Amino acid sequence: MKRILVTGGAGFIGSHLCRKLVGEGHEVVCADNLFTGSKKNTRALLECDNFQFLQHDVVQELQVEVDRIYNLACPASPIHYQRDPVRTMKTSVLGALNALDLAKRVHGRVLQASTSEVYGDPQVHPQPESYWGSVNPIGIRSCYDEGKRAAETLFFDYHRQYGTDVKVIRIFNTYGPNMDPKDGRVVSNFIIQALKGEDITVYGDGRQTRSFCYVDDLVEGMLRMMESRDGFIGPVNLGNPGEFTMLELAKKVIDLTGSKSKVVHCPLPQDDPTQRKPVIDLAKRELGWEPKVSLEEGLKKTISYFEDVLSHSSSIRD
């Protein structure tokens, strides 16, 4: 059994990761400043002896004795990471530096939760890890995209310069229970709108594509990458190659919820990528990993989660 630090462990993906690691019997320390995460996500874990929550900002150093570090702390939804872009960049870059310094000091292994956003608005489709991306360095998404790119650079430089044991994953759009209903991501927005009978807000013409991975599949890939062979450091894409337009997603959500909601078109946000789909050959080969949950199956589980959330809250959008 290992002692494991999860930064951002009170967020959507982090809470699933913590639950899995605690279930396997590891000692888990979750460090989170609750910027977008919530203690509610880890409430059940707080009763476990092998789980500890630390309210901590990763911009500051953290001294803990651990074998493994999963570095997830960073707001992931555009409305949150654009709310305080300077803070987003600090979280990405200083958070990565602090995670790496800790790994170096304790001779531990550190995994960076990077993102498909490093490919920007990709000119190569689908995206293999060898593609360097097409990123606007000065736009409204740049604080996140460039912050994550700088973090990847730091991971590779610590590895080359100090021999730090690093792993880098590039996560493509992930969804599932524990998504924050108010963080504006497309899956949670569409499901909540459908369940409430409100208009489904498709941005732009809705022909832009994304590839959606169910969170259980992603967590399995993260665990495999963390325990992958020495010398394999990535970056490795983790995502579901099924590619859908936002109009197709809206239709699926309407069908699965049996909603009477209608699609309305809203302005497309600046620099919104037109297409995104991972090549996952490397993950298949190195990790023996590929997603198992179809979009329909994952959406059903997520819809049932949000039905439960809505039944306990009459004014979730307020």
Tokens of residue 253, six digits: 């959500």
Which stretch, 17-25, 44-52, 195-203, 233-241, contacts ligand UDP (CB under 6 A)? 195-203
Helices 142-162 and 85-106, axial angle in degrees (round to 10): 20
Is 36 a binding residue for ligand UDP by CB under 6 A? The answer is: no
Is 244 a binding residue for ligand UDP by CB under 6 A? The answer is: no
Rounded to whole angstroms, the Cα distance separating 65 from 74 reads 22
Report the residue number, 5 or 72, with the smaller CB distance to ligand NAD: 72
Report the residue number, 112 or 189, with the smaller CB distance to ligand UDP: 189
Residue 59 contacts residue 31 (beta carbons within 8 Å) = no
Q: What share of the chain is helix, strand, coil (3-state, %, to 5)?
A: 40, 20, 40
Provide the minimum distance between the beta carbon of 1 and ligand UDP in the complex, in angstroms, as a whole number.
Answer: 35
Rounded to whole angstroms, the Cα distance separating 242 from 213 reads 9
Is 246 a binding residue for ligand UDP by CB under 6 A? The answer is: yes
Is 70 a binding residue for ligand NAD by CB under 6 A? The answer is: no
> Which of ligand NAD, ligand UDP, none has residue 11 at its interface (CB below 5 to 8 Å by kind)?
ligand NAD
Provide the minimum distance between the beta carbon of 196 and ligand UDP in the complex, in angstroms, as a whole number.
Answer: 13
Is 254 a binding residue for ligand UDP by CB under 6 A? The answer is: no
> Which of ligand NAD, ligand UDP, none has residue 34 at its interface (CB below 5 to 8 Å by kind)?
ligand NAD
Which DSSP category does 3 fall into?
E
Rounded to whole angstroms, the Cα distance separating 68 from 103 reads 8
Contacting ligand NAD within 213-252 (CB under 6 A): none
Tokens of residue 316, six digits: 């979730």
Which stretch, 51-59, 62-70, 128-136, 184-192, contacts ligand UDP (CB under 6 A)? 184-192
State which H helix or E strand residue 158 sits in.
helix 142-162
